[in-house]
Amino acid sequence: MRTLTKDIGTKEGETVELFGWVDTRRDHGKLIFIDLRDMTGIVQVVFTPGDKELHAEAERLRPEWVVKITGSVARRPKGMENEKVANGLHEVTATVLQVITEAKTPPFDLGGDGREINEEVRMKYRYLDLRRPRMRNNLRMRANVNAFIREFLGSRGFTEIETPYISKSTPEGARDYLVPSRVYPGKFYALPQSPQQYKQLLMVAGLERYFQIVRCFRDEDTRGDRQPEFTQLDIEMSFTNQDEVMGLVEELMTQLVKKLYPEKHLSQTPFPRMSYKEAMERYNSDKPDIRKDKNDPNELAFLFVVDFPAFEWKETEKRWDAVHHPFTQPRVKDVEDFKAQFKNNPGAILADQYDLVLNGYEIAGGSIRIHNPALLQEVFEAMGNKHEEVLAKFGHMLEAFEYGVPPHGGIAPGLDRLMSILQNEPNIREVIAFPKTGDGRDLMMDAPSEVSEAQLKELHLKTEKNNGTKGI
Ligand code: ASP
């Protein structure tokens, strides 16, 4: 039966079977030592010269070979112990060695934290890069955070619900990724920029408390540390208000940090709240970094920014657009009041919108939603959509709201950014198993890539031939 390296300390005097990778090999004259690595850690294995065949086989071992080793667990000789590392008091004296697979020399060192290695090479060989303890730890902690979230929200009556990935465009202000339909020539699905409409429709459905750890897709030009697909913790609640949504997220973050990151401290509790106006005036930013000591990697400065303007002028499109998204409730009494205020000064209308900022990054955005279909229609039209366009694009929402819609609102923390801050990582690619480059390529899979003529034909698509310059 297999023993994991983490359990070696409890097996003194016993014979164990170990499976894993050769992490390092050291020849000390007659003795050969290897560090054997499995998913739980490392153990030192020693090959003595007594068994010549075994010793000769051990001499062949190279880093990253996959092996099975049978041996007996013993205390290390006096003076050879190392209190500082796991299994530092024990070693396994090998009696049988089986090489399961050999390995080429990896293209880069897997031992260190890897930050000095060219990132493109790390991404091309991501399956090797993920072997380093730092990366493995990032993924483990991410899984722990997900598990914590599920437990936290589950125990508060939230239902985790999956929503479709191939769907219809939902407006979050970015370009959609489109998926051509084979069955309906000339028609396309869009990958959701967020499950915004579905989660609101789940409120109409009476679920009242929804969450989902969900992928969102936005086809944006490279801007800093973004990914074409990223993960949100998407939350929606009925019969709620701004304070309740913010309070829930504050409690979630506080307890998460306390349980999983006890070495970190929150600079201020309750999380301070600042109006958008004040943030812009004092910090010239809607995501101010209010850490007391910016050199302290363990300081977490959460801040809610509230009282956002509902609309901003889009000069390129010559129209007013929603600052958050069009479903956000503007602070107006009713449709007439909205019309009057919008006519008078659109930029002065505030919204029930809130962002959660952490150490200068926007890590969540949310709002109370418009649940009056007439107001929603009016807002869409104010943003430059024609009456018929609104019906074509959002008729399903307007119709749904005719069937008894509860007041509702929600928020969506971005988990990649949150994880990168919690793990003290400089960019979100370090906390994503298979990230894309800044310009949207998957170097390991070589995506995007060309597809066959037959595939295009089936999808009723023609592409302009690539003439050797960038793009098609
Ligand atoms: N759908 C919004 C977003 O992706 C979040 C929300 O309003 O709940 O930013």
What are the structural domain ranges in the chain?
A: 5-101, 126-431
Centre of ligand 1 to C-alpha 327, Å, is: 10
Give residue-wise pLDDT tens across range 390-400: 999 899 999 99
Is 308 in a helix, a strand, or coil?
Answer: coil
The pLDDT of residue 288: 98
Read off the pTM.
0.95
Which one of 167, 194, 244 would you pick to mutate in the ligand 1 pocket, going by the greatest count of ligand atoms within 8 A of its CB?
Answer: 194
For atom 7 of ligand 1, which residue has the closest CA? 366
Look up tokens 């107006």; give the residue. 332
For atom 4 of ligand 1, which residue has the closest CA? 194
Centre of ligand 1 to C-alpha 131, Å, is: 34
The angle at the Cα of 118, spanning 115 to 122, to the nearest 5 degrees, equals 80
Which one of 158, 167, 170, 172 would you pick to mutate in the ligand 1 pocket, going by the greatest count of ligand atoms within 8 A of its CB?
Answer: 172
Name the CA radius of gyration of the chain, rounded. 28
For atom 8 of ligand 1, which residue has the closest CA? 411
The pLDDT of residue 466: 58
Give the separation between CA 216 and CA 414, rounded to whole angstroms: 10
Centre of ligand 1 to C-alpha 365, Å, is: 6
Inter-residue contact 411 to 364 (CB < 8 Å): yes
Give the separation between CA 204 and CA 189, rounded to whole angstroms: 23
Centre of ligand 1 to C-alpha 355, Å, is: 10
Look up tokens 């979100």; give the residue. 428
> Which ligand 1 atom is the nearest neighbour of the CA of 193?
4
Residue 180's contacts (CB-CB under 8 Å, 6 or more residues apart) are 187, 188, 459, 460, 461
Centre of ligand 1 to C-alpha 217, Å, is: 13
The pLDDT of residue 467: 52
Bigger pLDDT: 165 vs 169: 165
Two domains, one topology: 5-101 and 126-431: no
464 has a pLDDT exceeding 60: yes
The pLDDT of residue 353: 98
Give residue-wise pLDDT tens across range 423-443: 999 999 999 999 999 889 999
The domain over range 126-431 is classified in CATH as 3.40.50.11540: no
Centre of ligand 1 to C-alpha 118, Å, is: 34
Around ligand 1, the residues with Cβ closer than 6 Å are: 172, 194, 196, 365-367, 410-412
Centre of ligand 1 to C-alpha 141, Å, is: 24
Give the separation between CA 285 and CA 283, rounded to whole angstroms: 5
Task: Report strand pairing: 361-368 vs 353-358.
Answer: antiparallel
- Cα dist. 31→25, 48, 86, 94, 429 in Å? 11, 5, 22, 11, 41
Q: Kindly report the backbone phi and psi dihedral angles of residue 290, in degrees, each rounded to the nearest multiple of 5, phi listed first.
A: -105, 25
Weakest mean pLDDT among 98-107, 210-219, 462-471: 462-471
Tokens representing 439 are 């310009």
Give the separation between CA 79 and CA 81, rounded to whole angstroms: 6
Burial 30-43 (b: 16+ CB within 10 A, else e): eebebbbbbeebbb
Inter-residue contact 36 to 16 (CB < 8 Å): no
Partner residues linked to 275 by β-bridges: 306
Is 205 in a helix, a strand, or coil?
Answer: coil
Inter-residue contact 332 to 339 (CB < 8 Å): no
The domain over range 5-101 is classified in CATH as 1.10.10.10: no
The angle at the Cα of 57, spanning 56 to 63, to the nearest 5 degrees, equals 120
